[in-house]
Structures are given as structure tokens and as C-alpha cells.
Structure 1
Amino acid sequence: MLWNAFTVWRKESHTLGNMLTLGLGIMVIVVLPLMRAIDQDLFSKNSVTLYNAFVVPVIFYLIF
């Protein structure tokens, strides 16, 4: 995704639609490790379960 974003950035205009893959690539690099770092000691078990049940599938949907 980042390679595609880099190619689009060089060859096309810098509009929001052309930067979607850049945003998704950065989100994958930042959010996925952050999800792994979420510890159930910091948050309640229900909030972590809710996060994993809804946010993770949305991220994977956006990636594919």
C-alpha cells in the first residue's frame, strides 16, 4: 500500500482520494502494532473485546 501511495503521490495530484492508500498504509503501520500493545490490565476486558470485535474487521475491510 505504501508503494502504491508513493507512486500515486509522484504521478498524480495530491487530492484526498489519491491519498487513501497512504492513509491506510500508515494506519496499518501504526494501529496494528498498537492493537497488539493494548493490555487488558490497562483497559477493561469488555472494552478490549469491543475494540477487537469492531475495529479490527473494519481495518481489514479497508485494506482489502
Structure 2
Amino acid sequence: MRISIDPHLCIGAGQCALAAPRVFTQDDDGYGTLLPGHDPDDPMAREGARSCPVHAITVTDS
């Protein structure tokens, strides 16, 4: 899977990090970001994307 976060859409709600803490975190400014060394095939990645209130996260199959 390929996971991307649109930094222009992200509002820092943190729902991605709550839903998939092994994939997402928040940066120093509170915006969503991918954890270094995350497993791109983690099944919770899709749940993290679905939880984003502004649909800033895209998960696509490789």
C-alpha cells in the first residue's frame, strides 16, 4: 500500500493517530504525519485514513 497525507488539507484533528498509532503520529505543529519505519501494509492504515474528518489521507494499493 501507499499512504500519503495532503499537508494542505490536514487540520491536525489527530484522528488518524488515534485510529492507527503504529502508522500515524502528529508532528511538532500538531499535523498528521507517518511514523518513520511504519508498516505500509498495516490494516489499520485504512482505518486511520477513514477517520480523517477532512479526507487528507489517501491509501492506495501498490
TM-score strictly above 0.5: no
- Normalising by structure 1, what TM-score? 0.29
